[in-house]
Amino acid sequence: MDLEALKATAQAMVAPGKGILAIDESHGTCTKRFAALGLECDAENRRAYRGLLVAAPGAEAAISGMILFDETLRQSNDEGVSFPKLLEDRGIIPGIKVDTGAKDLALHPGEKVTEGLDGLRERLAEYYELGARFAKWRAVITIGDELPSQACLMANAHALARYAALCQEAGLVPMVEPEILLEGPHSIEACYGTSAETWEILFKELAAQGVALEGLILKTSMVLPGSTCDDQADLLTIAEMTVNCLKANVPAEVAGVVFLSGGQTAEDSTIRLNEMNKIGGMPWPLSFSYGRGIQAPALQVWARDHQAIGEAQNVLVHRAKMNGLAAKGEYDISLEV
């Protein structure tokens, strides 16, 4: 393991004013999003749409890396230039989603465990050769009656830690993503408690596997009330509770913390990130790794008119730059157009 190379990549991923764009939706998720806009989710449409994201002029000002899907990592533009090469040429680090999805956890109704460890060492070696320099693995945690269970938290943390060790062995920075789902009536206090427990167990498992935290990125949820909770917290409460929970449970050695947008509106995810960075005093950079939070406006433009590539790219870059400012605590609503 070349720890210095891993540290350099991880630090570049959370460079000041920059974050990660996730364009790694599975075919199933992509089909749902395309269908909602009347689009067919075939290979060529996926290539065309993701190609405009990869090639967006000026995106490198606020986007340090892009998480690709296996199919996307292997695709090229109309001139035959591979997507990873297009990113590299502009200083954007190619990444790759490597888990194979969340499956039902045996004997634990309503809970999931993420799979994909079988054959992962060989896949990571291939992804490195194809140009990837970081990877992502997502686990999903549900808050509910008697949920999450210890079994769920431990199974997912163990899988994340084994994945992370294999990544570092292969020369890729692991992005570990324990997503606490927003759906449900749970309070922000319940989310705080679940977040704290999830991170505590995760970092114990990472330590047990010998993972170097200086070469690792935590991608996680903000501390939020459930989407159907009657008591929706205000901006400052969300920011303070998220920052406090992170400080209490995430080691200072971690290279960076990035948030997923996870069901929030594009604007909410930006404003909340900005408020956290205004608080300051974090031991690690606090940035973004948004999918829908950056992509959604661009997809809507492209869905209306496949020829409006420039307009879609401009919308994407604007959203990325707004989040880049939020990553420095310098965003203001007046900057929206």
Check residue 1 and give its pLDDT.
84
Q: What is the pLDDT along the chain (337 residues), one digit of tens a residue?
A: 899 999 999 999 999 999 999 999 988 889 999 999 888 999 999 999 999 999 999 999 999 999 999 999 999 999 999 999 999 999 999 999 999 999 999 999 999 999 999 999 999 999 999 999 999 999 999 999 999 999 999 999 999 999 999 999 999 999 999 999 999 999 999 999 999 999 999 999 999 999 999 999 999 999 999 999 999 999 999 999 999 999 999 999 999 999 999 888 889 999 999 999 999 999 999 999 999 889 989 999 999 999 999 999 999 999 999 999 999 999 999 998 6
- Cα three-residue angle 118-122-127, rounded to 5 degrees: 115
Which amino acid makes up residue 37? L
- Cα three-residue angle 309-311-316, rounded to 5 degrees: 95
CA distances from 202 to 145, 150, 161, 276 (A): 22, 12, 7, 23
The active-site residue, picked from 177, 179, 205, 275, is 177
Please confirm, yes or no, whether 60 is among the known catalytic residues.
no
Domains and CATH numbers, the chain: 3-335 (3.20.20.70)
Check residue 263 and give its pLDDT.
84
- Cα three-residue angle 26-15-299, rounded to 5 degrees: 35
Check residue 90 and give its pLDDT.
95
**Could you tell me which residues are beta bridge partners of residue 19?**
63
CA distances from 54 to 57, 61, 66, 332 (A): 9, 13, 8, 27
The active-site residue, picked from 97, 136, 219, 321, is 219
- Alpha-carbon distance 275 to 50, whole Å? 30
Strand duo 217-220 + 256-259: pairing: parallel
Question: Do 138 and 102 touch, CB atoms closer than 8 A?
Answer: yes
Check residue 39 and give its pLDDT.
86
pTM: 0.96
Check residue 266 and give its pLDDT.
87
**Could you tell me which residues are beta bridge partners of residue 179?**
140
What are the backbone angles phi and psi of residue 91, rounded to the nearest 5°? 75, 20
Please confirm, yes or no, whether 32 is among the known catalytic residues.
no
- Alpha-carbon distance 136 to 218, whole Å? 10
Q: Is 130 exposed, middle or buried (0-12, 13-18, 19+ CB in 10 A)?
A: middle
- Alpha-carbon distance 255 to 19, whole Å? 13
Q: What is the tens place of the pLDDT at every residue in 32-55? A: 999 998 889 999 999 999 999 999
